[in-house]
């Protein structure tokens, strides 16, 4: 939208700007940061035509506007909220606002409509519409200056030192309005001395010193850079936070007691695939010995396969090891695969599945520490920093999700808002009140939230920039819809399962075409689910995992039943960590429905206990246009049962499924023998939720 090339400016013989280059794209908020006298206000005045540049070019929408007048610039779509507010003290609030649109010569009706828009954004101004501007507080005068600029409905809004001279609480309110303007699509050039505030409120930034651009880049990166923080924000210590200009201002959006930003690194130190394989071999040897010596179940399995710890001499020896399955976990309930003494177990987690006996896993303190570290790695790969506020809308309790998301968030130094699932009203209230920047949930929950936000008309008041979701499959069209409804938020698919620590065992990177998995914590094989032989890279198969350092309940060749494919080669994002595609489906009949694992066998058990129901049934899964999943059960009545008993049977079946599986389903009872029979295994599950590709 705006392009400044080699701009120079003078005050008489004194040069204020030296060859400044700056660009702003439509919809961006760009910060121009620097100390007093750096040339920030001079640059804005050149843009508005208040000062004539002595060299260079200014282009707006590819049109040269270098020597345009202020009135011409307003008509072209620029408006300035000047330093020091510059309100007309002897005029009323209403009259000051009317002045903002004078160059446009609006009709009375259009002027009134724009006035109403300004009042809706600044309710305090409406309360004081007849009050003289000179009697307003500093914060109210700043709102008036911004409102006056917005009367021109600018395509580019120039804000010059909006926090100057304001108390911290009023500054919070002003910057909250700037965030709202940005989210509503207004392009903003923000000039600020308060570097922390400006960088936190912008997409990219230019740092100006003595009339020169000395640094530029994404605001989050600049704000987290320790050298730049020291140079532009001042140095501070835990004992003396006021040594930072940020701390002295009493601002709390950056917490100085946290570890040094961007100096924490949760990525592995490997520089080559060979180093990673060497680490994996050492971990594999340790895991086999640990399981052999610590678990009677594993020892029996290994001996039956004629394998001892000494049998493992290379990664190829992995294929000598026996498989572990979900049945092993259920048969070993309540402490399956336990490989350490009970006194070393500090926690258990269980799956959200409903199969009579849950899959329960034991954790030592080291297991939890490892899980926390690599979950922090997920956040790091998604670009989450200590400046973020992470709203966690996943389940807490015996399953792993909520605890994992929260521990990883706190480890990376971000602010956790642990809301838990459901309760849409509270979720939206917290998004508004806490200005959360990251939202963690299932894909379905994210879509539901996005739709509710738009229904309630608060889309421009939320600050979500990233959505981290997991627990269920999602297509490209569903991801695109979630992103669009959240105002262009960036989506990251996170993987994991209770058996393998929990969520956080991998996440997609900024390239958004793969999942990086933590090959330093587990080995991933992709096998043909029928032959259990390896498939070539790029071909779809079943994920089989072997842990490398898990103490409480290690996994040896555990069949996850998830279908994916290995992606060969180094990722364009630069990470050395291996990667696979997003999960395509399952190799068994397990249904993931609204965040709950449901096995057809559990539905079979429920139906068999209801008199009057036959043995045949079908499960149909669909997804509506709003992105909500639906399950419809088509069930045969038993032979000779009258159709008049339909309502009674439907009520009982629905009640039992809700009670035991914790989900609601749609029911359709059909005549006996109306569903197809087969000599082979009958197809029970028809999953039609995803109609387009996942990658």
3-state SS track over 580-641: ECCCCEECCCCEEECCEEECHHHHHHHHHCCCCEEEEEEEEEEECCCCCEEEEEEEEECCCC
Q: How far is residue 604's CA from residue 601's CA, in Å, rounded to a whole number?
A: 5
pTM listed for this prediction:
0.70
pLDDT value for 362: 95
Structural domain includes residue 633: yes
Q: How far is residue 115's CA from residue 93's CA, in Å, rounded to a whole number?
A: 11
With CA atoms as reference, report the closest residue to 670 among 634, 619, 625. 634
With CA atoms as reference, report the closest residue to 26 among 222, 118, 157. 157
With CA atoms as reference, report the closest residue to 391 among 345, 306, 453. 453
Q: For strands 629-637 and 522-527, give the pairing.
A: unpaired
Q: Which two tokens stand for residue 264?
A: 């924490």
pLDDT value for 359: 85
CA angle 620–621–622, rounded 5-degree value: 120
Ramachandran quadrant class, 615 (left: phi over 0; alpha: psi -120 to 50; beta: rest): alpha
| Domain-terminating residue out of 192, 224, 256 | 224
| Domain-terminating residue out of 224, 240, 274 | 224
pLDDT value for 581: 93
Q: How far is residue 227's CA from residue 170's CA, in Å, rounded to a whole number?
A: 29
* Containing structural domain, residue 665: 592-687
Number of domains in the chain: 2
Q: How far is residue 544's CA from residue 525's CA, in Å, rounded to a whole number?
A: 5
The b/e string for 29-48 (b: 16+ C-beta within 10 A; e otherwise) is bbbbbbeeebbbbbbbbbbb
Structural domain includes residue 8: yes
Q: Which two tokens stand for residue 87?
A: 């309100």
pLDDT value for 601: 65
pLDDT value for 330: 87
HEC readout, 513-530: CCEEECCCCEEEEEECCC
The rounded Cα 184 to chain-centroid distance in angstroms is 20
The DSSP H or E segment spanning 482 is helix 476-485
Q: How far is residue 37's CA from residue 520's CA, in Å, rounded to a whole number?
A: 51
Task: Tell me if 393 sits within 8 A of 445, measured CB to CB.
Answer: yes
Q: Which two tokens stand for residue 132?
A: 């003289």
pLDDT value for 233: 52
Which residue is listed with tokens 């179940």?
297
Task: Tell me if 497 sits within 8 A of 470, measured CB to CB.
Answer: no
Q: For strands 666-670 and 629-637, give the pairing.
A: parallel
Q: How far is residue 181's CA from residue 166's CA, in Å, rounded to a whole number?
A: 20
Q: What single string gives the DSSP state of each residue in 412-475?
A: HTPEEEE--S--HHHHHHHHHHH--SEEEEEHHHHHHHHHHHHHTT-GGG----EEEEESS---
Structural domain includes residue 134: yes
Listed as own residue / partner, the contacts of 127-134 with beta carbons closer than 8 Å and 24 or more positions apart are 128/93, 129/92, 129/93, 129/94, 130/92, 130/93, 130/94, 131/92, 131/93, 132/89, 132/90, 132/91, 132/92, 133/87, 133/88, 133/89, 133/90, 133/91, 133/92, 133/93, 133/96, 134/87, 134/89, 134/90
Q: How far is residue 630's CA from residue 632's CA, in Å, rounded to a whole number?
A: 7
Q: Which two tokens stand for residue 533?
A: 């032989």
Task: Tell me if 424 sits within 8 A of 452, measured CB to CB.
Answer: yes
Phi/psi for 14 (5° steps) reads -85, 125
Q: Which two tokens stand for residue 320?
A: 């000598």
Q: How far is residue 285's CA from residue 26's CA, in Å, rounded to a whole number?
A: 56
Structural domain includes residue 52: yes
Listed as own residue / partner, the contacts of 684-687 with beta carbons closer than 8 Å and 24 or more positions apart are 684/589, 684/600, 684/617, 684/618, 684/619, 685/589, 685/591, 685/600, 685/618, 685/619, 685/621, 686/618, 686/619, 686/620, 686/621, 687/585, 687/591, 687/621
Can you give the CATH number for the domain in which 160 is found? 3.40.50.300
Please tell me the total number of residues recorded for the chain in this structure. 695
Structural domain includes residue 646: yes
Task: Tell me if 315 sits within 8 A of 277, measured CB to CB.
Answer: yes
- Mean pLDDT by 10-residue block, N- to C-terminus, for the chain (695 residues)? 95 93 94 86 93 94 92 91 90 93 89 91 91 92 92 92 82 84 89 81 89 88 67 49 42 42 79 94 97 95 96 96 93 93 94 65 96 96 91 88 93 94 92 94 86 86 92 75 86 93 94 94 95 94 97 97 92 93 77 73 79 84 81 89 90 90 89 70 72 60
**Cis link prior to 364 (omega < 30° from 0)?**
no
Q: How far is residue 41's CA from residue 43's CA, in Å, rounded to a whole number?
A: 5
pLDDT value for 668: 92
Structural domain includes residue 27: yes
Contacts of 533 (CB under 8 A, 6+ apart): 527
* Inter-CA distances, 466 with 181, 220, 239, 493, 585, Å: 19, 13, 34, 11, 25
CA angle 363–367–368, rounded 5-degree value: 85
Contacts of 566 (CB under 8 A, 6+ apart): 524, 526, 537, 538, 578, 579, 580
How many helices and strands, by DSSP H and E, does the chain display? Answer: 21, 31
Structural domain includes residue 241: no
Cα radius of gyration (the chain): 30
Task: Tell me if 626 sits within 8 A of 450, measured CB to CB.
Answer: no
CA angle 370–373–374, rounded 5-degree value: 90
Q: What share of the chain is helix, strand, coil (3-state, %, to 5)?
A: 35, 25, 40
Q: Is 13 helix (H, G, I), strand (E, B) or coil?
A: coil
Structural domain includes residue 400: no
Can you give the CATH number for the domain in which 599 is found? 3.30.300.30
Contacts of 473 (CB under 8 A, 6+ apart): 443, 582, 583, 584, 585, 592, 689, 690, 694
| Domain-terminating residue out of 224, 240, 264 | 224
Q: How far is residue 162's CA from residue 165's CA, in Å, rounded to a whole number?
A: 9
């Amino acid at each position: 939208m705006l392009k400044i090339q080699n701009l120079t400016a003078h005050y008489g013989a004194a040069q204020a700007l030296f060859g400044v280059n700056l660009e702003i794209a439509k919809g961006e908020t760009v910060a121009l940061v620097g100390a007093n006298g750096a040339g920030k206000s001079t640059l804005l005045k050149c843009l508005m035509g208040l000062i004539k540049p002595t060299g260079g070019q200014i282009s707006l929408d590819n049109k040269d506007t270098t020597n345009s007048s202020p009135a011409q610039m307003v008509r072209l779509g620029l408006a300035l909220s000047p330093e020091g507010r510059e309100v007309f003290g002897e005029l009323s609030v209403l009259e000051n606002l009317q002045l903002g649109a004078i160059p446009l010569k609006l009709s009375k009706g259009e002027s009134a409509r724009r006035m109403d828009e300004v009042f809706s954004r600044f309710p305090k101004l409406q309360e004081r519409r007849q009050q003289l501007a000179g009697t307003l507080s500093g914060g109210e005068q700043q709102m008036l200056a911004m409102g006056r600029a917005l009367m021109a409905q600018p395509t580019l809004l120039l804000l010059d030192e909006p926090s100057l001279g304001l108390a911290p609480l009023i500054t919070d309110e002003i910057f909250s309005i700037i965030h709202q303007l940005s989210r509503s699509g207004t392009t903003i050039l923000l000039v600020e001395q308060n570097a922390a505030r400006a960088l936190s409120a912008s997409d990219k930034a230019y740092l100006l010193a003595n009339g020169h651009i000395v640094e530029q880049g994404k605001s989050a990166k600049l704000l987290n850079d320790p050298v730049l923080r020291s140079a532009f924000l001042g140095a501070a210590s835990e004992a003396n936070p006021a040594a930072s200009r940020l701390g002295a201002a009493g601002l709390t959006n950056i917490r100085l007691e946290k570890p040094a930003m961007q100096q924490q690194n949760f990525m592995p130190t490997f520089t080559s695939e060979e180093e990673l394989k060497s680490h994996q071999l050492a971990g594999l040897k340790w895991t086999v010995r640990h399981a052999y010596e610590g678990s009677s179940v594993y020892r029996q399995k290994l001996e039956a396969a004629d394998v001892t710890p000494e049998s493992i001499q290379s990664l190829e020896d992995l294929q000598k090891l026996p498989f572990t399955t979900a049945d092993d976990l259920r048969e070993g309930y309540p402490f399956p695969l336990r490989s350490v003494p009970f006194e070393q177990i500090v926690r258990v987690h269980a799956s959200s599945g409903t199969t009579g006996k849950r899959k329960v896993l034991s954790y030592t303190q080291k297991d939890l520490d490892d899980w926390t570290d690599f979950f922090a790695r997920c956040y790091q790969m998604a670009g989450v920093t200590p400046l973020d506020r992470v709203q966690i809308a996943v389940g807490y309790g015996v399953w792993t999700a909520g605890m994992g998301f929260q521990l990883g968030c706190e480890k990376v130094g971000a602010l956790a808002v642990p809301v838990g699932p459901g309760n849409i009203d509270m979720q939206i209230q917290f998004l508004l009140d806490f200005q959360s920047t990251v939202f963690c949930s299932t894909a379905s929950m994210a879509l539901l939230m996005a739709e509710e936000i738009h229904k309630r008309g608060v889309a421009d008041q939320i600050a979500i920039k990233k959505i981290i979701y997991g627990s269920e499959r999602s297509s490209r069209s569903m991801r695109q819809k979630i992103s669009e409804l959240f105002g262009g938020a960036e989506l990251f698919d996170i993987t994991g399962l209770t058996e393998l620590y929990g969520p956080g065992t991998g996440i997609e990177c900024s390239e958004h075409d793969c999942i990086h998995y933590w090959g330093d914590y587990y080995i991933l094989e992709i096998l043909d689910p029928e032959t259990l032989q390896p498939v070539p890279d790029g071909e779809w198969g079943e994920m089989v995992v072997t842990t490398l350092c898990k103490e409480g309940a290690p996994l040896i060749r555990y069949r996850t039943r998830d279908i994916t494919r290995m992606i060969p080669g180094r990722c364009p994002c630069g990470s050395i960590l291996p990667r696979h595609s997003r999960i395509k489906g399952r190799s068994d009949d397990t249904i993931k429905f609204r965040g709950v694992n449901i096995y057809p066998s559990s539905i079979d058990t429920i139906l068999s206990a209801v008199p009057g129901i036959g043995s045949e049934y079908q499960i149909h899964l669909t997804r509506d246009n709003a992105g909500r999943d639906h399950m419809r059960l088509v069930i045969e009545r038993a032979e000779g049962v009258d159709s008049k008993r339909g309502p009674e049977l439907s009520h009982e079946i629905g009640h039992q499924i809700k009670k035991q599986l914790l989900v609601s389903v749609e029911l359709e009872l059909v005549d006996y023998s109306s569903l197809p029979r087969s000599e082979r295994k009958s197809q029970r599950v028809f999953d039609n939720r995803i109609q387009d590709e996942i990658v």
